[in-house]
């Protein structure tokens, strides 16, 4: 074994090419808190990658390099952010420009791995790319696809959550914001969505990329374990920028992840990127801007905080057939403080995305989970991203829930109201119960169609709200066992609820009720 090491070394030494060139360098004037001020570097461009020579590294007392990005180009100095441990850099350290912008190495080998925003593996499973892997780099910052290469969103991205797939449908290529207070179920929705992609076998599985920005490491570890358990890591990449790493890496994480997603989109595949969450991303950018002495604006955010998110989210698109037909769907998450959606960052991101899923604490504590506010949540892509079957049954769902909400105040006096009002309230209660769903139990859309059909056509009106959950579970079990191919399979295959299929479904539900009752 010793010999092979020596052989390798010999080969390295022989194959090594000497490179001596004159390069323009700079010296660090000030360093601290993740940023550095550099003198010299006259020819450096904005957003150019820099290399800081720092202390530490090999035993010879030599130096390691820490990377950075040139942010501020001032008259006699350059302000740069440091992508790594700034404690090793000293005043007077040499800084070299690299002549390129930040890019991430991408490839199929990334799938199933947990990486940091610079592409280094964090899951302890060794290097990501082997020696024979093709070297493909995607730039972290890139122009969004233009109007001519896009087409309108037409394929559904099923989340497996009944309330969302029925009333706030998401399509491939859309941006849908998930907004709510802390501990309200935002991450649960995206976890269920990722798990459901593996189960929604009617369509090709998108590559899911989960970006953890500023999260607790324990939360990220738990999420990865859950995804592994559910078999979702076979098509998922996790880009982790946990709370302990510098703010500059928090700032980069969404852009690196989008670059990875664009790689798959360009190949004609579907990709799903989840940014959890963009509020912390905005904090990181604010921190860097304030340290670099950029003037603070509203809520101390810098002036270009809108551009920070708009250029990120505009990269999500559905490409037309001439350009491969791939798509990149974005699900950004924003955490509000006490439900204030009119704060600066939430309003910014709401105006960028194609709709929002609004989670309310009141509903959460009433037991409605997912705590979706159907009235305020919207999907601007709407039914063009729904299967025909779902469109048919869910059209009335939204209306009936809206009517129920209007009458909700009178629900306390249910016994003193006229027949039709009382019926509406009962129906509304039943539908609300149907839409409740536990965590990590995404439902395939054909089952959703049947269940919602049963609800909106009055088949569950005679069941008390407390028992609707159990009854609907039994109904779906019944359909799965006895009518899998005849009904469920047909719905899945055709995506439609044709007349004869509807009759069959009606009959099946009737039979079920007889046996149950």
Partner 1 sequence: MTKYSISQYAAALILALEEKSGSKRSETIRRFLFIVRKNKDWSKLGRIVKEAEKQSLKKQGIKKVEVESAAPLSRAVKKEIEKIIGAKVVLEEKVRPEVLAGIKVLVDDEILIDASGISQVERMFVGNQVG
Separation of alpha carbons 319 and 270, rounded Å: 10
Q: Which is nearer to partner 1, 76 or 500 (CB)?
A: 76
The binding site for partner 1 (CB under 8 A) comprises 5, 8-9, 12-13, 16, 18-27, 29, 39-40, 42, 57-58, 60-63, 75-76, 94, 96
How many other CB atoms are there within 10 angstroms of residue 100's CB atom? 11
3-state secondary structure of 80: strand
CB of 12 to partner 1, least distance (A): 6
CB of 393 to partner 1, least distance (A): 59
Say what the alpha-carbon torsion angle 140, 319, 186, 181 is, to the nearest 10 degrees: 80
One DSSP character per residue, 455-489 reads: HHTTTTTTS-HHHHHHHHHHHHHHHHHHSIIIIII
CB of 92 to partner 1, least distance (A): 10
Catalytic entry in 125, 222, 298, 380 = 380
Q: Which is nearer to partner 1, 84 or 198 (CB)?
A: 84
Q: Which residues pair with 36 in a beta bridge?
A: 31, 80
Q: Which is nearer to partner 1, 27 or 216 (CB)?
A: 27
Print burial letters for 176-185: b (CB count within 10 Å at least 16), e (below 16). Answer: bbbbbbeebb
CB within 8 Å of 327: residues ≥ 6 apart? 153, 155, 172, 173, 206, 265, 270, 271, 317, 318, 319
Separation of alpha carbons 149 and 325, rounded Å: 9
Torsion sign over Cα 425, 427, 431, 433: positive
Q: Which is nearer to partner 1, 15 or 500 (CB)?
A: 15
CB 34 within 8 A of CB 86: yes
CB 253 within 8 A of CB 213: yes
CB of 44 to partner 1, least distance (A): 12
CB within 8 Å of 226: residues ≥ 6 apart? 191, 440
The residue written with tokens 């074994």 in the block is 1
CB 231 within 8 A of CB 217: no
Q: Which residues pair with 335 in a beta bridge?
A: 180
Assess whether 380 carries a catalytic annotation: yes
Q: Which is nearer to partner 1, 50 or 253 (CB)?
A: 50
Separation of alpha carbons 296 and 450, rounded Å: 53
Q: Which is nearer to partner 1, 57 or 438 (CB)?
A: 57
The two structure tokens encoding residue 190: 């995206």
CB of 65 to partner 1, least distance (A): 9
Q: Which is nearer to partner 1, 129 or 344 (CB)?
A: 129
Closest CA to 391 of 400, 382, 403, 401: 382
CB of 132 to partner 1, least distance (A): 16
CB 336 within 8 A of CB 361: no
CB within 8 Å of 292: residues ≥ 6 apart? 35, 71, 72, 79, 81
CB of 53 to partner 1, least distance (A): 10
Q: Which is nearer to partner 1, 22 or 338 (CB)?
A: 22
Q: Which is nearer to partner 1, 94 or 111 (CB)?
A: 94
CB of 133 to partner 1, least distance (A): 15
3-state secondary structure of 210: strand
Separation of alpha carbons 218 and 454, rounded Å: 41
The two structure tokens encoding residue 396: 């009335």
Separation of alpha carbons 450 and 479, rounded Å: 9
CB of 301 to partner 1, least distance (A): 25
**What phi and psi, each to the nearest 5 degrees, are found at residue 379?**
-130, 115
Separation of alpha carbons 288 and 52, rounded Å: 18
Catalytic residues: 380
């Amino acid at each position: 074994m010793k010999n092979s090491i020596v052989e390798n070394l010999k080969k390295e030494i022989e194959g090594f090419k000497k490179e001596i060139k004159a390069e323009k360098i700079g010296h660090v004037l000030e360093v601290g808190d993740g940023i550095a001020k550099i003198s010299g570097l006259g020819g450096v461009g904005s957003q150019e990658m820099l290399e800081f020579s720092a202390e530490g590294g090999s035993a010879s007392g030599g130096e390691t390099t820490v990377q950075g990005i040139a942010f501020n180009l001032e008259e006699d100095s350059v302000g740069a952010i440091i992508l790594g441990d700034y404690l090793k850099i000293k005043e007077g350290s040499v800084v070299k420009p690299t002549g390129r912008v930040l890019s991430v190495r991408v490839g199929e080998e990334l799938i199933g791995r947990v990486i940091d925003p610079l592409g280094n593996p964090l899951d302890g499973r060794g290097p990501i790319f082997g020696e024979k892997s093709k070297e493909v780099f995607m730039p972290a910052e890139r122009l969004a696809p233009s109007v001519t290469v896009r087409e309108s969103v037409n394929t559904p991205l099923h989340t497996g959550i009944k309330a969302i797939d029925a009333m706030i449908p998401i399509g491939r290529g859309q941006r849908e914001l998930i907004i709510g207070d802390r501990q309200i179920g935002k991450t649960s929705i995206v976890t269920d969505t990722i798990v459901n992609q593996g189960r929604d076998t009617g369509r090709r599985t998108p590559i899911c990329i989960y970006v953890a920005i500023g999260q607790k490491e324990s939360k990220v570890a738990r999420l990865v374990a859950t995804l592994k358990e559910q078999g979702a890591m076979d098509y998922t990449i996790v880009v982790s920028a946990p709370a302990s790493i510098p703010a500059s890496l928090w700032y980069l994480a969404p852009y690196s992840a989008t670059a990875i997603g664009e790689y798959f989109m360009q190949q004609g595949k579907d990709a799903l990127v989840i940014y959890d969450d963009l509020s912390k991303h905005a904090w990181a950018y604010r921190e860097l801007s304030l340290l670099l002495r950029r003037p603070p604006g509203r809520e101390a955010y810098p002036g270009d905080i809108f551009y920070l998110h708009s250029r990120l989210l505009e990269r999500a698109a559905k490409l037309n057939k001439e350009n491969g037909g791939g798509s990149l769907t974005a699900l950004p998450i924003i955490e509000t403080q006490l439900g204030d959606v009119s704060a600066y960052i939430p309003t910014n991101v709401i105006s960028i995305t194609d709709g929002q899923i609004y989670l309310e604490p009141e509903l959460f504590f009433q037991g409605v989970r997912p705590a979706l506010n159907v009235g305020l949540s919207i999907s601007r892509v709407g039914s063009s991203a729904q299967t025909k079957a779902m469109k048919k049954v869910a059209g009335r769902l939204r209306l009936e829930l809206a009517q129920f909400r209007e009458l909700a105040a009178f629900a306390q006096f249910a016994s003193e109201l006229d027949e039709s009002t009382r019926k509406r309230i009962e129906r509304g209660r039943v539908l609300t119960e149907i839409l409740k769903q536990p965590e990590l139990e995404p439902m395939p859309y054909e089952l959703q169609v049947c269940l919602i059909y049963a609800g909106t056509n009055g088949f569950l009106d005679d069941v008390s709200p407390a028992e609707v959950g159990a009854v609907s579970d039994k109904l779906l079990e019944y359909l799965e066992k006895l009518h899998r191919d005849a009904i469920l399979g047909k719905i899945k295959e055709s995506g439609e609820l044709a007349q004869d299929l509807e009759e069959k479904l009606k009959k099946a539900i009737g039979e079920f009720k007889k046996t149950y009752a």
